Chain A
Amino acid sequence: MTINNPESGKQGAAFEMDERGPVVFGPVHEPFERPAEKMVEGPLYMETEEVIPELAPLASAEEQKDEARKALSMNLDRRDFLKLFSATAVASSAACVRRPAEKAIPYVNQPVDFVPSVANNYATTCGECAAGCGLVVKTKEGRPVKVEGNPEHPISQGGTCTLGQAALQGLYHPERRKSPLLKRGNRSDLISWDDTYEMLAKDFAGKKVGILTNGSTGHRHQFYREWLKAIGSSDSRLYTYESNALYAAIAQAHSLAFGFEALPRVDLRQAKTIVGIGSDFLDVGVSPVFFAKNFSEARNLKSGSMVRLVQFETAMTITGGRADERHVIAPNAELVTLLLLMKALTERADVKGSANTKAIAKKILAANDAVTLGGYEAVGVDKAVFEALATEMIKNQSVVFAGGSHSFDDQATALQMAAIVVNELIGAYGSALMLDRGWMISPVKPGDLKRFAQEASGLDALLIIDSNPAFTLPASFGFSEAVAKIPVVVSMQTQPVETDDLAKYVLPVNHSLESWGDEQPAAGFWSARQPAVLATTDSRQAEDVLLWIAAHMKRSMPYSDYRAYIRERWKAVAALVDAKGEFDNFFNAVLRRGFVGKLTTRGNDSMRDVTGSVKAAKLPSAGTLRLLAPLDVRLNDGRGANKPVLQEVGDAMTTITWDSWVAMNPQTAKKMGLRRNDMLKVESATGTVQAALYPLPGVHPDAVIIHRGNGHAKHVSKISGENGVNPLALFAKATDSATGMPVTSGATVKVASTGKIFQLAAMQKHNDLANRRDIVKKLSVSEAAQKMMKRQNLDEVPDLYPAMYNTVDYRWGLSVDLTKCTGCGACQVACAQENNIPQVGREQINLGREMHWVRLDRYFEGDTNNPQVSIQPMMCQQCSHAPCEAVCPVFATVHDPEGINSMTYNRCIGTRYCANACPYKVRRFNWWTHRWNMIGDRLQDRNLRALNPDVTVRTRGVMEKCNFCFQRIRDAKHVAKVQDRKVMDGEVRTACEQVCPSDAIVFGNLKDPNSRVAQLRADGRSYLALGGDPEMKEYGLKTLPNVSYVSHVSHREGFSDSLHSEHGAHGTDAQQDSHGKSEEHKGH
């Protein structure tokens, strides 16, 4: 292995050579390695300024008067208050001899299946987005304390996304409204529910009432239609809307092509090559957990499948970060790119697909002759790339995913249409895409928004249920203006939103964890929703409110409540799945399991002539900056913005928390003289927003990216109010004509510096491991295949310490697969929920005081225009020889015989020696007693009901870190002990393992050679972080962690070579060029 050591040549005699280069650390016969003489220069960089130093923020005294610092100084009062408060707390506790007597209050009538301090679990369906993932809600003493994926559920397969994991913070959100609100002029009065029903019944009598609601695949929309009919309105006045416009575009395209409004279900195990054209299927997509699970299975080298992902994109997405081959294309060039690919495919004689499809493809290409001829340059990808890809796509089973929230322009449905044609040409339908069996149901009716825009002026009353169009639609769409003309507007929301401002009535409705309902994510597959807890505030289920209104109008529907309605509808489901016997037994069994289903099939349709929908594709014009506004993976369209845990996860690529940022290509930023953290003014014809710059490698030079999700109105939430900006303000009125969905990509913008600096709360450099070569290891597929054949013992390290783990039954270990990890951040949210980890707010994060027990390190490698991305979850490595243990003066952190580096909070005196000693930088110090979640000067109560009672809540001055969810180990051990057996593999699942939508994390007993984790640790691909290179007899720090990583395996050309040679020496000319530049900047 070559290490960038300039001296290595001169000291030739000191180094042995092997086939991979000079051996820098000691010859083989020496039992212990020599210490490194120089810090090893690694190929990884975390920030752009490591390769382009000009982009580093300035630090002169003058420039330090930035806004962030002003914000800090303004908060001194609160800090004094905090200090004083903590001091009094200590004094008062010290003064009393005995803690105040605690009461023990038993149930009056204890439920039969309840045992105090034992969790009850309820299966339900997630309501955070329209994907319909199955959940298991863990309740303790009747209150939900943790949301987990339902492992049997075929959609989520045990995983959840960040949003689903954070559902509890929504449930217990202190800002949820406590009572209905009636607004008259400037006044707003709290009213009772009875008055609400009475007044609304009067308002609705004989009027044209409409409902605007979010997407759902279950019986909810059908109920609304029945209700509208029952009260004398028309059932056509139901308008469904999801800000994730991909649902509408895909459903519309399939409706036009096959006359069948649905989304194809995917089975990526069938594919060898996935081509993404501006796709975000791993970020938000249509069903992020289902796709991630699918993708993870398709990338399981162990089972012999290693799908290749080729991504063409403008932004730097999570999906692009996973790509084996990534091409940067011009903004809004997705359709042209896809047409070029279609052209390359049709030019081959062996292309698949029916004659009909081929004829359609030819016609489409003929209609777009102008763009396909000269498109290569405009798109920015060579013809040879498409030709090679076409060959591969026909040879291997392949599938194309097109479109995403960052590429949704006025050609979005045309793009989906072209994707259908291409997928037909490569024979994807019937293998990787399924439209004939168990297809996915579209949660929205495409075209509903268009219909709403046309019909809104004719409505007398409008109910807006669980949707926030006033925020998620661009102002230019004219939603507020249209709604202002409607006399009675009722906003029914689980949390305060901007849309409430437009309403006369604001009604608090139940959170999905308090509601009855169902979803049908795939045809014939039904997922039930049942309340895990009674309503925590004085809210009602939206559907029950409608039933009450109907009753007050003397137009009752024959159901006592929505549960009764669902029960009635489920009789049809029971018939569908051929359930025998009593219906009640069936219904209860479904509620217990969470879902039921039967594969539904239909005939294949031949494709209709869709040439009319894909004509006159526009070539992107180069040189103008274009704004892309993708949905944020964590905050989605803004529905997650009021949950501190989501704000604090950090974006996968930038690691920015709390703020909005402007992502631009580093080279473009450099040309414009802009630096990181420069406050920018982004201006379009319709508006201006200000946000700080983050130069992000991999973004197209013409692209300006601001994520949606932040920028809420001040009064909406203390958490999200006036935090960040909403990029939708910059979009002029434009819609995709087929669906009526607003365009969120491609607005022409001007970018200029405001001269101010704003410190973005990015976490990446807080815990710096870069410049080490043994953090992230990468392998090409062929190398990995070789290594897999070899078994290894990572614990065989020459050592002076006595052998460990000989006398115990368990040695707990964790394995993280870097090939599978996408960086979605679900593990961080799960960890925070399970272990009562506080959120600290952007101020504290800027001081480097985030509390994540597992952090996601993101490393770039190679060209700043198109880097390779590696994401590494870094949690406590539970070192067998832990540097932190040796330095603790009070033995607060010691080694458990079963391998856990334990942390005794009540013993810790807060010297922070251990955090200094930790080479992995995973220890977190409580600088405050986090009684509050903080953002700036705004305090938000930390809701005690949401705390996990099994985990101690830490106070100020105490160090904490990952302990492998020890409470779960202990519970499992107690269960096993009572049953006189050992804990079995898979019985203990840490929160991060349980939640992972990619199955990247495996936990288990390393003493059991057959456990999954022991198998993975013995796999030749695995390595220990900072564990050197055992093959070279070089053992790094010899901390001997119980966490092992499976190397990042990729099909990428020369992927692993970059570790062994100067990075960038392989690859294209462009890469070499930019590499040359970056070398100069390093100034070595």
Chain B
Amino acid sequence: MIRKLVTLFVLLVAVGLTAGSNEARAWWMWTPGDTVDDVGYKPTQPIPFSHSLHAGKREIPCEYCHSAARRAASAGIPPMNTCMGCHKVVATDKEPIKWLTEKYNKNEPVEWVKVHDLPEYARFSHKPHVKAGVECQSCHGNVQNMAVVEQVAPLQMGWCIGCHKEKGASIDCITCHY
């Protein structure tokens, strides 16, 4: 048992140091299961949906598709009927749209890969932030210029608190951790 514990301890310290070393924060801020900085995380999505085309070139407002952002904690990935609202008639000859239409007709959802992923113990709600007039871009970056969405903000606690302090918002632990 002692050997097991020693191994575990060594492992923990090692990982702790690795995680701490590439970051400009103290080692004790790292907790097991926490994400390290994910800036630049840019997963491949099932179809090459381009925000730069939709939000940039076509200037569709963010909340047209992510309509839950002002109403709920989650901004909401738009349901497929939102996509199909336009794509029944728009660009129906493109391969990805054909794939999408086929999925839609088979009543199968698209499995997008989550880009901005907070740990389970941190609770974030879009609603009050939208209400307070925080631009989507301040956290998500200039999505309207991204062909493939990537994470631009570290989404770490220090980063949240920096803004909260600046704006005079609450920085109590229980605001996000409960």
Contacts and interface: CB of A to CB of B under 8 A. Distances in A.
A950 B33 CA distance: 19
B146 interface: no
Contacts of B172: 894, 896-897, 902
B97 to A, nearest CB: 15
B161 to A, nearest CB: 13
Contact of A102 (B4, B11, B110, B117): B117
A118 B127 CA distance: 11
Given A106-B112, A963-B178, A966-B174, A95 B15 contact: yes
Nearest to B70: A978
- Does more than half of chain A's interface fall in helix, strand or loop, or is it mixed? loop
Interface stretch (B78-86, B88-96, B134-142): B78-86
Interface string B25-49: 0000001110110100101000000
A970 B172 CA distance: 13
- Does more than half of chain B's interface fall in helix, strand or loop, or is it mixed? loop
B21 interface: no
A115 B71 contact: yes
A891 B173 CA distance: 10
B8 A951 contact: no
A900 B174 contact: yes
Contact of B177 (A97, A99, A107, A906): A906
Interface string A969-982: 01001100110000
Interface in B92-130: 103-104, 107-114, 117, 119-123, 125, 127-128
Interface stretch (A86-94, A239-247, A419-427): A86-94
B77 interface: yes
A105 B109 contact: yes
User: Considering residues A87, A107, A110, A906, which has the most beta carbons from chain B within 10 angstroms of its beta carbon?
Assistant: A906
A90 B72 contact: no
User: Considering residues A108, A953, A970, which has the most beta carbons from chain B within 10 angstroms of its beta carbon?
Assistant: A108
Contacts of B72: 115-118
Given A974-B127, A977-B128, A902 B174 contact: yes
Contact of A109 (B15, B79, B111, B114): B79
Contact of B110 (A106, A903, A978): A106
Contacts of B164: none
Given A90-B32, A109-B81, A967-B178, A952 B120 contact: yes
Given A907-B177, A963-B174, A974-B127, A104 B112 contact: yes
B158 interface: no
A218 to B, nearest CB: 36
Interface magnitude class on chain A: 35 or more
B12 interface: yes
A222 interface: no
A771 interface: no
A614 B112 CA distance: 74
A951 B74 CA distance: 15
B114 A104 contact: yes
A106 B76 contact: yes
Contacts of A115: 68, 71-72, 76
Interface string A66-108: 0000000000000000000001001101110111011111111
B77 A104 contact: yes
Contacts of B109: 105-108
Given A94-B32, A103-B111, A952-B178, A118 B77 contact: no
A600 interface: no
A93 B127 contact: no
A1015 B153 CA distance: 47
A586 interface: no
B114 A103 contact: yes
A896 B12 CA distance: 32
Interface residues of B, number: 53
B147 interface: no
B174 A904 contact: yes
B15 to A, nearest CB: 4
A207 B94 CA distance: 65
A905 interface: yes
A98 B131 contact: no
Contacts of B120: 952-953
Given A94-B32, A905-B121, A974-B125, A108 B108 contact: yes
B60 interface: no
Nearest to B127: A974
A118 B71 contact: yes
A952 B114 contact: no
Contacts of B123: 950, 952, 967, 970
Contacts of A117: 68, 72-74, 76
Contact of A116 (B68, B113, B119, B177): B68
User: Considering residues A101, A116, A951, which has the most beta carbons from chain B within 10 angstroms of its beta carbon?
Assistant: A116
A110 B107 CA distance: 12
B62 to A, nearest CB: 15
A94 B11 contact: yes
A110 B74 contact: no
Given A115-B68, A894-B173, A93 B33 contact: yes
Given A106-B76, A118-B72, A98 B125 contact: no
A895 to B, nearest CB: 9
User: Considering residues B76, B81, B120, which has the most beta carbons from chain A within 10 angstroms of its beta carbon?
Assistant: B76
Contacts of A102: 113-114, 117
Contacts of B81: 107-110
Interface in B155-178: 172-175, 177-178
Contacts of B32: 90, 93-94
B51 to A, nearest CB: 15
Contacts of A97: 19, 36
B74 A116 contact: yes
A907 B122 CA distance: 11
User: Considering residues B11, B41, B108, B172, which has the most beta carbons from chain A within 10 angstroms of its beta carbon?
Assistant: B172
Contact of A90 (B8, B78, B128): B8
A952 B121 contact: yes
A931 to B, nearest CB: 15
Contacts of A896: 172-174
Interface in B1-26: 4, 8, 11-12, 15, 19
Nearest to B28: A890
Given A102-B113, A116-B76, 11 more contacts: A95-B11, A101-B43, A103-B112, A104-B77, A105-B109, A108-B81, A108-B109, A891-B173, A906-B177, A963-B174, A978-B131
Q: Top 3 nearest A-B pairs by Cβ distance?
A: A902-B174, A110-B79, A117-B74
6 contacts: A90-B12, A101-B43, A105-B111, A110-B82, A117-B68, A951-B178
Interface of A: 87, 90-91, 93-95, 97-99, 101-110, 115-118, 891, 894, 896-897, 900, 902-907, 950-953, 963, 966-967, 970, 973-974, 977-978
